[in-house]
Amino acid sequence: MRIVVEVRRGVTYEAIRQRLEGSEASGLMKEIGKLMKNRARKAFKMQGRGQSSADKWKPRRVPNIIGALMDFAKGGRKPLKRRFDSRPAAVDTNILRRSIDFRVVKDNEVEIGTTVPYASKVQFGGEGVFEMTAPVRTKLARWLRTPTGKQWRPHFGFLFRRDHYFVDTPPRPFLEYRPEDRDDIIRRVARHLTRPFDPPEPEDGGN
Average pLDDT for residues 150-171, to the nearest whole number?
Answer: 96
Tell me the range of 10-14, 23-27, 103-107 where mean pLDDT is highest. Answer: 103-107
Average pLDDT for residues 147-173, to the nearest whole number?
Answer: 96
Q: Residue 15 CA to chain centroid, in angstroms?
A: 37
pLDDT in tens, 41-89: 999 999 999 888 889 999 999 999 999 999 999 999 999 999 999 888 9
What string of DSSP letters covers 1-49? Answer: --------TT--HHHHHHHHSHHHHHHHHHHHHHHHHHHHHHHHHHTBS
Which residue blocks in 93-152 are alpha helix, DSSP H? 95-99, 119-124, 134-144, 147-150
The answer to whether residues 116 and 99 touch, using CB atoms and an 8 Å cutoff, is yes
Report d(CA 104, CA 135) in Å as an integer: 48
Report d(CA 188, CA 162) in Å as an integer: 55
* pLDDT band at 1; cut points 50, 70, 90: very low
Q: What is the pLDDT of residue 41?
A: 97
pTM of the model: 0.80
**Angstrom distances, CA of residue 55 to CA of 3, 43, 49, 114, 171:** 30, 10, 6, 21, 11
Q: Counting beta carbons within 10 angstroms of the beta carbon of residue 195, is it exposed (0 to 12), middle (13 to 18) or buried (19 or more)?
A: exposed
Bridge-based pairing of strands 109-113 and 164-169 is unpaired
The answer to whether residues 196 and 11 touch, using CB atoms and an 8 Å cutoff, is no
The answer to whether residues 105 and 29 touch, using CB atoms and an 8 Å cutoff, is no
Angle between helices 22-46 and 13-20 (to 10 degrees): 30
Average pLDDT for residues 28-45, to the nearest whole number?
Answer: 96
Q: What is the pLDDT of residue 203?
A: 57
